[in-house]
Structures are given as structure tokens and as C-alpha cells.
């Protein structure tokens, strides 16, 4: 039984490059490999530690993804505020 390796570094690189489709594709590919591995695994006799380590790595990466999402949402909010301020300024000039 082979436990799939979470492609943490390629996903991080995609996130840093704001290549969200690539990050999603890497996650989808990992999910498929994980599903196949779990279907073939005998979890009653196999050691749990490698699976637990993978779960910890997944949770850590999920926290990074959440932080990136929250940061993007904050930036969009600031852009919206700036846009409204600029619009109000232009209206005042008219």
C-alpha cells in the first residue's frame, strides 16, 4: 500500500503565483490518488501513523489556503472601498 504524497510545495508555488486553477488541479489530482489508495488499503492492519501524518499535512495546507482566501477577500474589500471613494470624489467634482 502506498500513501500518496501531498504535493505541498507545488501547491504553495501555485498559490504564490496566484495560479489558482493549477493549485486546484493539484489538489484534485491528490484527492483522486488518495481515494484510490484508501479504497485499496486495509486500514485494520496497516499502520495509522502515515495516514495521520498525511492528515496533519492536509490540515496545515488547508490553513494556508484559508489564510490566502481571507487575504484576497480583504484586498477585494479595500479595492471596493477605494472604488467607492473615487466615485464619490468624481461625483463631488461634477
| Residue 3 located in a structural domain | no
Please tell me the predicted confidence (pLDDT) of residue 51.
95
- Read off φ and ψ for residue 35, nearest 5 degrees: -60, -45
| Residue 2 located in a structural domain | no
Q: What is the mean pLDDT of the chain?
A: 90
Cell numbers placing 23 = 493549485
Most confident of 16-20, 27-31, 43-47: 27-31
Q: How far apart are CA 63 and CA 1, in angstroms?
A: 28
| Residue 37 located in a structural domain | yes
Based on the structure, what is the number of domains in the chain?
A: 1
Say whether pLDDT at 28 is over 80.
Answer: yes
Write out the residue range of the structural domain in which residue 27 sits: 8-93
| Residue 70 located in a structural domain | yes
| Residue 59 located in a structural domain | yes
Contact partners, residue 27, CB within 8 Å, separation at least 6: 11
Please tell me the predicted confidence (pLDDT) of residue 13.
96
pTM beyond 0.85: the answer is no
Q: How far apart are CA 59 and CA 73, in angstroms?
A: 21
Please tell me the predicted confidence (pLDDT) of residue 94.
75
| Residue 83 located in a structural domain | yes
Amino acid at each position: 500500500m502506498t500513501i500518496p504524497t501531498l504535493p505541498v510545495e507545488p501547491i504553495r508555488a501555485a498559490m504564490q503565483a496566484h495560479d489558482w486553477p493549477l493549485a486546484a488541479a493539484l489538489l484534485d489530482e491528490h484527492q483522486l490518488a488518495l481515494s484510490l489508495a484508501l479504497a485499496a488499503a486495509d486500514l485494520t492492519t496497516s499502520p495509522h501513523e502515515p495516514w495521520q501524518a498525511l492528515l496533519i499535512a492536509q490540515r496545515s495546507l488547508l490553513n494556508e489556503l484559508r489564510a490566502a482566501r481571507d487575504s484576497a477577500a480583504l484586498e477585494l474589500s479595500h479595492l471596493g472601498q477605494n472604488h467607492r471613494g473615487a466615485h464619490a470624489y468624481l461625483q463631488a467634482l461634477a
